[in-house]
Amino acid sequence: MKKERVKIKDYVWLFEWVVGAIAFGIAVAFMIGIINESETVKQIILIIVGILFLFAGLFRLVPLMRTTKDKFLMVIYVIEVLIFIGCGALLLGFGTGEVKDTLMDGYFFGILIGIAIYFRGLVHFFSTSLRKEKDNWKTFLAHIIFLTVGSIILSHKGFDTKLVGWLLFAILLLCGIVVTIDGINRFKKYRHKYAAIRDSSNITEETGKIDPVNKQKDVPNDSILPEKEDERPQAEIVN
């Protein structure tokens, strides 16, 4: 019987369990750090959010410039990207200690996030209503939420890192649960597949069944019968 090759995709469940365990561990560490008001956790939160804003700016810059034909809209997009990059750089500065968050009694962190989120919603509706960019109900709803959340943040003069810490804790906990459940389902499928291959192998060995593909190869040459000659008299065949 042909030996089954080990495929990496059959062991995706193992990687998902590892990722789920890491997510749960980080979530617990965040929870403990937030409760104890750890400065290290605050710095990690600032660094994570800063990197997120940098990615949201840098990774969108080139595709937006290549696909936007409206020159004025392209300028607006570039301004938005620069705002995201600037916010990300400042948050990284706060997290690494290079920049002191002394403005607004430590709430400047929240002000930056509020400005970026509100401006993203504003640019989206400007591009779809005045510049005829395409839209769908998902992005429409998402940017309504961006405008609402951004307005609330700015009206409350920002927020501190503790709120974002609890939000990251919830996200990590949810990711850990989803990834772990998916890993469990993949493991069940892997075990069912393995059991089916094992049972099929046992049945083949017990019954001595021949593989249909190789059946022709196993037939001996002696079993091939020659064509039967016509035994009638020659005269009868001619007539």
Burial class, 34, CB count within 10 angstroms (exposed 0-12 / middle 13-18 / buried 19+) = buried
Residue 162: its pLDDT value, please? 83
State how far the Cα of 203 lies from the Cα of 143, in Å rounded to an integer. Answer: 59
Give the pLDDT confidence of 35-44 residue by residue, as tens digits: 888 888 888 8
130-154 pLDDT, tens per residue? 888 888 888 999 999 999 999 988 8
Closest-CA residue to 110 (of 151, 150, 47, 159): 159
Whether 223 has a pLDDT exceeding 70, the answer reads no
| The predicted structure's pLDDT at residue 111 | 86
pTM of the full predicted structure?
0.66
3-class secondary structure per residue, 10-75: HHHHHHHHHHHHHHHHHHHHHHHHHHCCCHHHHHHHHHHHHHHHHHHHHHHHHHHHHHCCCHHHHH
Q: Closest Cα partner for 163 from 16, 4, 49?
A: 49
Q: How confident is the model at residue 229 (pLDDT cuts 50, 70, 90)?
A: low
Two tokens, residue 14:
């193992």
pLDDT digits (tens, 9 = 90+) for 79-107: 999 999 999 998 888 888 766 655 544 57
Is residue 185's pLDDT more than 50?
yes
Percentage of the chain beyond pLDDT 70 is 77
C-alpha dihedral, 69 to 126 to 91 to 112, nearest 10°: 160
Tell which residue, 101, 63, 56, has the closest CA to residue 82.
Answer: 56
Please name the amino acid found at residue 164: V
Q: Is the pLDDT of residue 212 over 70?
A: no
**Please, which residues have CB within 8 angstroms of residue 163's CB and are 6 or more apart in sequence?**
110
Tell me, what's the pLDDT at 135?
84
| Length in residues, the chain | 239
